[in-house]
């Protein structure tokens, strides 16, 4: 009987598919990130590993698993937590879980952060709930309009494109983007203009990050880039935390070089702040909205991720090609 180790409780739809396929499934019983020693023990002798983006799947894991391991199905769109070279060395297929449902969910979260920043929703909620509202006032919590403003996408792939459609079709925003490859569809359908990263930083009112975490994208937004942004511009990150240099962002917020930030991911995740000793914390800024890596946290998206991960495992263990192999 084929055996699968799952590193944390996930949506049951995928587990049901694995059971139907006749596999023995072991799910890590604690609802928390698995410790390395328990991961190494759990994967030993297994045919498949269903991992999360919080699990570091490295050489130690492949060695502990042994020769039976054929597939690592990462329950995430990104797979920067998996050492692909080590996987190749051990002849293990690595897969991820891209899907339109997941992409739409992330796009919605991105736009929700953008709107909340522009209209100061979090500040207004706190203001109202804490008895500060004494009556209408002409200058009370004035925000900024989104309509007609310029959205700059850093990364114009599937998720970036979905954000773009909402922005242009729903709010009449102007669209510019920076990417390694041109997106002719966005240009034809939405009037998007491909520009350099420098020009995007200088022109956009809202900047949204949609890039994978690679050596080339780590800290791609740091002191130099933040200094190029408009003083009234907002930064939104629903991609990966280390794409933004947290120290640089904190300094930019403190000096009011930018208007605010909406973050669903953090550089030292799960810690929201990398260094608490500097007395400069993300949570201390009223113009920063923080969400705990929930951009894809909808029932439909998480079900889809679970089923895709399971289908990848079933395909590989049956000697077929993976549905969604991880590709750099």
Helices in 148-245 by DSSP H: which ranges?
158-165, 171, 184-190, 197-203, 223-228
The answer to whether residue 165 is domain-embedded is yes
Structural domain span for residue 134: 101-290
The answer to whether residue 325 is domain-embedded is no
Tell me if residue 218 is catalytic: no
Q: Are residues 70 and 184 in the same domain?
A: no
Q: Are residues 33 and 160 in the same domain?
A: no
Non-local CB neighbours of 174 within 8 Å, separated by 6+ positions: 148, 149, 150, 151, 191
Tell me if residue 277 is catalytic: no
The answer to whether residue 65 is domain-embedded is yes
Query: Is residue 272 a contact partner of residue 266, using CB atoms and an 8 Å limit?
Result: yes
The answer to whether residue 63 is domain-embedded is yes
Residues of the chain with pLDDT under 70: 328
Q: Are residues 211 and 144 in the same domain?
A: yes
Q: Are residues 252 and 143 in the same domain?
A: yes
The answer to whether residue 327 is domain-embedded is no
| Strand order through the sheet with 48-52 | 24-27, 3-6, 48-52, 71-75, 93-95
Q: Are residues 282 and 160 in the same domain?
A: yes
* Residues present in the chain in total: 328
- Among residues 29, 85, 81, 93, which one has the least CA distance to residue 240? 81
Q: Are residues 136 and 225 in the same domain?
A: yes
pLDDT tens-digit readout, 192-206: 999 999 999 999 999
The dihedral region occupied by 125, where left means phi > 0, alpha psi between -120 and 50, and beta the remainder, is alpha
CATH number at residue 62: 3.40.50.720
The answer to whether residue 155 is domain-embedded is yes
Q: Are residues 220 and 232 in the same domain?
A: yes
Catalytic residue among 3, 218, 269, 303: 269
- Among residues 46, 104, 106, which one has the least CA distance to residue 316? 46
The Cα 271–Cα 293 span in angstroms is 11
In this structure, what token pair is assigned to residue 172? 């009449």
Catalytic residue among 210, 293, 302, 307: 293
The answer to whether residue 261 is domain-embedded is yes
The answer to whether residue 230 is domain-embedded is yes
Q: Are residues 71 and 196 in the same domain?
A: no
The predicted pLDDT at position 328 comes to: 64
The Cα 223–Cα 245 span in angstroms is 8
Tell me if residue 254 is catalytic: no
To 10 degrees, the CA torsion angle through 316, 320, 324, 325? Answer: 70
Q: Are residues 212 and 283 in the same domain?
A: yes
Catalytic residue among 8, 240, 267, 307: 240
The predicted pLDDT at position 245 comes to: 97
The predicted pLDDT at position 277 comes to: 80
Q: What is the pTM of this model?
A: 0.89
Number of domains the chain contains:
2
């Amino acid at each position: 009987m084929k055996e699968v180790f799952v590193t944390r409780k996930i949506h049951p739809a995928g587990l049901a598919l694995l059971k139907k396929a006749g596999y023995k499934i072991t799910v890590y019983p604690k609802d928390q990130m698995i410790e390395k020693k328990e991961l190494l023990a759990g994967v030993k002798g297994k045919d498949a590993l269903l991992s999360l983006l919080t699990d570091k799947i490295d050489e130690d894991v492949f060695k502990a698993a042994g020769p039976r391991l054929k597939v690592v199905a990462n329950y995430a769109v990104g797979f920067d937590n998996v050492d692909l070279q080590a996987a190749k060395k051990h002849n293990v297929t690595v897969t991820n879980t891209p899907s339109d449902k997941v992409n739409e969910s992330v796009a919605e979260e991105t736009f929700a952060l953008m709107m909340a920043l522009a209209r100061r929703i979090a500040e207004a909620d706190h203001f109202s709930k804490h008895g500060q509202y004494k009556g209408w006032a002409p200058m009370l919590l004035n925000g900024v309009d989104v309509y007609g403003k310029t959205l700059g996408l850093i990364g114009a792939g599937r998720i970036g494109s979905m954000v773009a459609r909402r922005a242009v079709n729903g709010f009449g925003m102007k669209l510019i983007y920076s990417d390694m490859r041109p997106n002719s569809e966005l240009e034809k359908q939405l009037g998007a203009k491909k520009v350099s990263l420098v020009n995007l930083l200088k022109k956009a009112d809202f900047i949204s990050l949609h890039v994978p975490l690679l050596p080339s994208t780590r800290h791609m937004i740091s002191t130099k880039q933040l200094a190029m942004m408009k003083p009234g511009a907002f930064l939104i990150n629903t991609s990966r935390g280390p794409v933004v240099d947290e120290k640089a962002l904190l300094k930019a917020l403190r000096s009011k070089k930018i208007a605010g930030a909406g973050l669903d991911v953090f550089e030292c995740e799960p810690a929201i702040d990398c260094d608490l000793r500097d007395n400069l914390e993300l949570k201390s800024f009223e113009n920063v909205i923080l969400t705990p890596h929930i951009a894809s946290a909808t029932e439909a998206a998480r079900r889809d991720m679970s089923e895709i991960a399971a289908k990848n495992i079933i395909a590989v263990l049956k000697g077929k090609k993976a549905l969604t192999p991880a590709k750099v």
